[in-house]
């Protein structure tokens, strides 16, 4: 018997910058041209972001010495599929892309996930630059390197950790965002504040008008703060070994509601309901003070989030929250707030309490 050791212990540096700026799109071509010398850029976008942002990019590409190819896909979650992934790979191949080239993900979360996964697999990995254009993707999915497509009935089941070379965020793209999408993003913004930053929570309390009218200074601060919070968490736990789970606040219940609603609600709306329920659970367990609970309730009210009663069966939501974990002992893991800006992880929440809180939350009692 012979034993050979392959020693692959080494220092790697996948660090990158996130730039948050009002009007960044105007100089996108220039930002990109500096990144990869001589490389071509495959711009993955959907029909919407193609119309809104690609003409300006192409207008300026030549001057910036940037060669672009536009690879567009239909908008919507249905494009986050292996079939569309395969189509993009075929187009990169037809265009003779090599590892000297790179991919730009120009769009919301679907585009970022799809383009990032495609870049990560094509020829065993091209660099990807994320240019998220929705609030949800700017504050959440574009940072951290998680990319994926869906299997039928199994969201994000095929993917990678493929860190971007850079994240380029122009908050002006939010001006074209439907209000409902904006609010969906604000739910994740509020989540970042509750889990990690009491000062930021206060800013959200006071800055409601500024944010809802897309005041640029307020939006830049908001997006940058969320990115910094998420960056800090990702730095401690790039591959979801543990600490990154704090980002799941509101998501245990939120995902169950999202499933039960058949995706008729936006992700942020569901997370808002989830935060309401999970904060109440934390409060009932004596973990989260009444006054903090009231502040979160008021903040969600103020942004018009999770206001309507939902006609859903708590029992079904509990089943969905269990998901595959049912086999592992029947416990549901929750991230629960202990104060504005702090959380704890619990997997011993009595199901009777979950049921009771869900009934009250769904009825908006």
- Residues binding a copy of itself (CB under 8 A): 1-21, 24, 82, 86, 89-90, 93, 96, 98, 120-125, 143, 146, 148, 151-152, 154, 157-161, 163, 220-221, 224, 227-228, 231, 234-235, 238-240, 324, 327
Q: Find the catalytic residue in 21, 31, 181, 188.
A: 188
Q: Find the catalytic residue in 165, 251, 276, 280.
A: 251
Shortest distance (Å) from residue 4 CB to a copy of itself: 4
Identify which of residues 86 and 209 has a Cβ nearer to a copy of itself in the complex.
86
Q: Is 133 annotated as a binding residue?
A: yes
Q: Identify which of 189, 185, 195, 201 has the alpha carbon closest to the alpha carbon of residue 336.
A: 195
State yes or no: is 255 an active-site residue.
Answer: yes
Q: Token pair of 166, please?
A: 């850079």
Contacts by residues 140-144 (CB-CB < 8 Å, ≥ 24 positions apart): 140/109, 140/185, 140/188, 140/226, 140/230, 141/109, 141/112, 141/113, 142/105, 142/109, 142/112, 142/167, 142/169, 143/18, 143/167, 143/227, 143/230, 143/231, 143/234, 144/230, 144/231, 144/234, 144/238, 144/244
Q: Is 188 annotated as a binding residue?
A: yes
Q: Is 155 annotated as a binding residue?
A: yes
State yes or no: is 10 an active-site residue.
Answer: no
Q: Find the catalytic residue in 146, 221, 276, 280.
A: 146
State yes or no: is 244 an active-site residue.
Answer: yes
115 within 8 A of 127, measured Cβ to Cβ:
no
Identify which of residues 44 and 234 has a Cβ nearer to a copy of itself in the complex.
234
State yes or no: is 240 an active-site residue.
Answer: yes
Rounded-to-integer distance, Cα 232 and Cα 264, Å: 32
Identify which of residues 138 and 266 has a Cβ nearer to a copy of itself in the complex.
138
State yes or no: is 230 an active-site residue.
Answer: yes
Shortest distance (Å) from residue 228 CB to a copy of itself: 5
Q: Find the catalytic residue in 10, 124, 179, 290.
A: 124
State yes or no: is 162 an active-site residue.
Answer: no
Counting Cβ atoms within 10 Å, is residue 147 exposed (0-12), middle (13-18) or buried (19+)? buried
Shortest distance (Å) from residue 72 CB to a copy of itself: 20
Rounded-to-integer distance, Cα 298 and Cα 311, Å: 22
Rounded-to-integer distance, Cα 322 and Cα 331, Å: 7
Residues noted as catalytic: 124, 146, 188, 230, 240, 244, 248, 251, 255, 267
Binding site, annotated residues for NAD(+): 133-134, 146, 155
């Amino acid at each position: 018997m012979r034993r050979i050791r392959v020693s692959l212990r080494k220092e790697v540096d996948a660090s990158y910058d996130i730039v948050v700026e009002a009007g960044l799109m105007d100089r996108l071509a220039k930002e990109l041209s500096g990144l990869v010398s001589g490389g071509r850029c495959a711009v993955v976008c959907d029909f919407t972001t193609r119309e809104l942002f690609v003409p300006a990019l192409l207008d300026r590409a030549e001057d910036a010495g940037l060669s672009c190819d536009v690879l567009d896909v239909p908008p919507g979650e249905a494009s986050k599929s292996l079939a569309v992934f395969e189509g993009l790979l075929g187009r990169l191949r037809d265009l003779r892309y090599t590892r000297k080239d790179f991919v730009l993900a120009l769009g919301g979360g679907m585009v970022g996930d799809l383009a990032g996964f495609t870049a990560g697999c094509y020829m065993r990995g091209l660099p990807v630059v994320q240019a998220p254009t929705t609030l949800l993707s700017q504050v959440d999915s574009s940072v951290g390197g998680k990319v994926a497509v869906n299997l039928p009935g199994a969201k994000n089941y095929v993917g990678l950790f493929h860190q971007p070379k850079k994240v380029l965020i122009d908050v002006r793209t939010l001006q074209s965002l439907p209000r409902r999408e904006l609010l969906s993003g604000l739910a994740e913004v509020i989540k970042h504040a509750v889990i990690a930053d009491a000062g930021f929570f206060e800013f959200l309390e006071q800055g409601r008008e500024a944010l809802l009218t897309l005041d640029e200074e307020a939006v830049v601060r908001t997006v940058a703060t969320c990115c910094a919070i998420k960056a800090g968490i990702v730095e401690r736990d790039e591959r979801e070994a543990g600490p990154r789970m704090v980002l799941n606040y509101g998501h245990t219940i939120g995902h169950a509601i999202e499933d039960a609603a058949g995706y008729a609600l936006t992700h942020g709306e569901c997370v808002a309901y989830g935060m309401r329920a999970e904060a109440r659970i934390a409060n009932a367990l004596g973990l989260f003070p009444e006054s903090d609970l009231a502040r979160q309730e008021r903040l969600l009210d103020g942004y018009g989030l999770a206001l309507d009663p939902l006609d859903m069966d708590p029992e079904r939501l509990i089943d969905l929250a269990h998901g595959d974990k049912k086999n592992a002992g029947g416990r549901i893991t929750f991230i629960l707030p202990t104060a504005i800006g702090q959380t704890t992880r619990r997997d011993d929440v009595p199901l009777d309490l979950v049921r009771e809180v869900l009934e009250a939350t769904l009825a908006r009692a």
